[in-house]
Structure 1
Amino acid sequence: MSADLHLGPPAADLHRDSVVADAHNDLLMAVTARPPRRWASFFRERWLPQLVEGGVNVQVLPVFVDDAYRPEGALRQTLRMIECAHVLAEGNADAVRLCLDGTQVDEALAEGRIALVLAMESMPGLDSAVELVPTLHRLGVRVASIAHWGRTALADGSGEDATGSRLTAAGVETLREMERLGIVFDVSHLGASGVEHVLELAARPVMATHSSARALRDHHRNLTDEQLRGVAATGGVVCVNFLAALLSADPAEYTLDRLVDHIEHVAGVAGIDHVGLGPDFIREVMHDVKPPCCEDDYGIDAFAAVPGLAGPGGLPLVTEALLKHGFADEEITKIIGGNVHRFFRAELGRPGDR
């Protein structure tokens, strides 16, 4: 943990002694952009020090295929990113382990290694080929969503909320296949009607890997109180997104306090056992792989970060802020990783009962 953070002993000790889980970091995009011979070493040089500095014990690695690869190159890029995850894990086996189930997560933590969990953010390379979901499972994918901003063959993303559409027949079949295989269903980015549909159908717990509270920031990427309660009712976890644009429409509120407001709201609505962290540390990744830009569908700087939280190294600041806001130690331990760890221990890679 960096001394530059100037944390007091209570926060520093609590953070160090807790399991810290990040449910969404797009670092695979940045690593895969390098030549394959550099994948393992680039991760070790650029990202591993940040994860260690932030005290991260469990890291979800989403496979996100950017628009430039769609549609023709989507499957190829999906496979490249999955291969990259395996290569960086194998090349840094002293520090990380790609985990397929909760037992392996526990083993990695006991060995002092970071547990990596491979995820899919939408499935553009599969389209409606539900028969390939088991292939993803064989390749190590253990968390997945089925839409991003726009329309897919499986469902509409939250950017298409006006359509009021639910899951397609292939989307419903995909949900059932994921439940059968033990791939956790992720509702982040799914359109509002799609979320409702999933919550009606779900036979197993679902999670939101990186969504904040719509009651505090009325943005289609955030979840309503009804949706928060719905995810919790399945036994799932809502992991709060740190992106400043999803915390407030007012740049003056791009603060740690505002982030804690969202965490507090989700905990109050869904319950303290159903809230986690899904930081979405995208600024560095996007600056790494894209030309500079200043505005997109968020309507403001989409990559703006809360001061101190531009990357994983700032995660101890969240623990300190939660302490300052009066959260008890045991509540903070649940929020910063305990809930996600418990959820993964119970659900990750566990075959369904059907």
Structure 2
Amino acid sequence: MGVAVNELHRRAVVADLHNDLLCAVVARPVERWAEFFRERWLPQLRAGGVDLQALPVFVEDPFRPEGALRRTLRMIEAAHRLAAGNADAVALCADGAQIDQALAEGRIALVLALESAPGVGEDVELLETLFRLGVRIASLAHFGRTALADGSGEDGTGGRLTRAGVAALAEMERLGMLFDVSHLGAAGVGHVLELASRPVIATHSCARALFDHHRNLTDEQIRGVAAGGGVVCVNFFAPYLHGSDYSIDRLVDHIEHVAGVAGVKHVGLGPDFIKEVLDDTTPPCCERAFVEGVPADAYLPGLVGPAGLPLVTEALQRRGWPEGDIVAVLGENVRRLLRDELGRPASAG
């Protein structure tokens, strides 16, 4: 990798909108949470030049539905403790000003995000509780059905947001919590784009025009997110990029496609580095995990975890991308969106 690539990557604000590392942290004893993050994940984030990291709160199936809220709260507590225990290196941020301050101080800005929100159910008022605890991004479904919406695995139902889901969207807009359309069913995405009065984000989604998978967004959906001022962050999970060619070139194809449809100012990165999380949470005794028939730990060569992110800069430069556009996609677009919207009540105007 050339010096010019490394220099460009170092100068850029690099934002990763989806890394499930909290799942790995919370799997350790409580007293190890901060230390484990410092030992296992902080070096990788630094090596990859990550400046802004969204921390999804993902509740695994065994905790749903009965233990979902408790699991949600425990993961949020883990985020607060790892931030407090590594205050020299990271900061848990509630708004754009705090993100800017963290970056100016050379610390990694962390932002809490709910993935699917099973702990909320129909009790939409709990979104304000979670907002008080620092959550600033949220989605309403994963692959299946929730009390708020259908996930993309249920596209056959044609399900839009439920009444509670519509109320959740309104509550998130009131609070200044970004709505995440990743994982939402196709009809649900359309419903959100009809109703949303503030920008939305796709934290980890690819282009369906390039690979027809229900987890990917259509060009119409991508245009809709961009038209509202939002950002589509491209997922690195190999089986969503192509049926067999698991290469960085296929990832760049999706980045270029989204940029062509939405405009380069509406593209970001949502890597979803699942292999290392699974390595940290799955005992060697157990069988390999699969998602809808494909290995859950599939990855692109060199992009197993955050340390590989400079390869994306190199690949974009190799395709002839201007430096300004590369910087925008690496993180400046996401930084702009979060600065404008994060934690900002609707009444703020």
TM over 0.5: yes
- Give the counterpart of 1:274 among 257, 266, 269: 266
Matched, 1:218 2:212: yes
Query: What amino acid is aligned across from residue 256 of structure 1 in structure 2?
Result: I
Normalising to structure 1: TM-score of the pair? 0.96
Matched, 1:314 2:269: no
Structure 1 residue aligned with 2:197:
203
Identity of aligned residues (%): 68
| 3-state SS of paired residue (1:63) | strand
| 3-state SS of paired residue (1:277) | strand
- Give the counterpart of 2:281 among 269, 278, 289: 289
Alpha-carbon distance between aligned partners in 2 of 1:262 and 1:211, rounded to the nearest angstrom? 10
Conserved? CA contact 1:245–1:298, under 8 Å = no
Conserved? CA contact 1:130–1:170, under 8 Å = yes
Alpha-carbon distance between aligned partners in 1 of 2:142 and 2:323, rounded to the nearest angstrom? 35
- Give the counterpart of 1:19 among 5, 13, 22: 13
Conserved? CA contact 1:294–1:300, under 8 Å = no
| 3-state SS of paired residue (2:290) | coil
Deviation at 1:72, TM superposition (A): 1.3
- Mean CA deviation greater in 195-204 or 289-298: 289-298
- Give the counterpart of 2:122 among 108, 128, 142: 128
Alpha-carbon distance between aligned partners in 1 of 2:218 and 2:272, rounded to the nearest angstrom? 19
Aligned length: 346
Alpha-carbon distance between aligned partners in 1 of 2:277 and 2:45, rounded to the nearest angstrom? 14
Normalising to structure 2: TM-score of the pair? 0.98
Deviation at 1:131, TM superposition (A): 1.1
Cα deviation per residue 1:303-335 (whole Å; 9 max; x = unaligned)? 210000000000000000000001000000000
- Give the counterpart of 2:295 among 290, 295, 301: 301
Conserved? CA contact 2:259–2:267, under 8 Å = yes
Matched, 1:191 2:222: no
Matched, 1:108 2:102: yes
Alpha-carbon distance between aligned partners in 1 of 2:220 and 2:296, rounded to the nearest angstrom? 26
Conserved? CA contact 1:158–1:220, under 8 Å = yes
CA RMSD of aligned residues (A): 1.0
Alpha-carbon distance between aligned partners in 2 of 1:66 and 1:214, rounded to the nearest angstrom? 26
| 3-state SS of paired residue (2:55) | strand
Structure 1 residue aligned with 2:256:
264
Alpha-carbon distance between aligned partners in 1 of 2:309 and 2:125, rounded to the nearest angstrom? 39
- Give the counterpart of 2:230 among 212, 230, 236: 236
- In structure 2, stretches of 5+ residues that fail to align are none
Deviation at 1:296, TM superposition (A): 3.0
Structure 2 residue aligned with 1:117:
111
Deviation at 1:297, TM superposition (A): 3.6
Conserved? CA contact 2:55–2:111, under 8 Å = yes
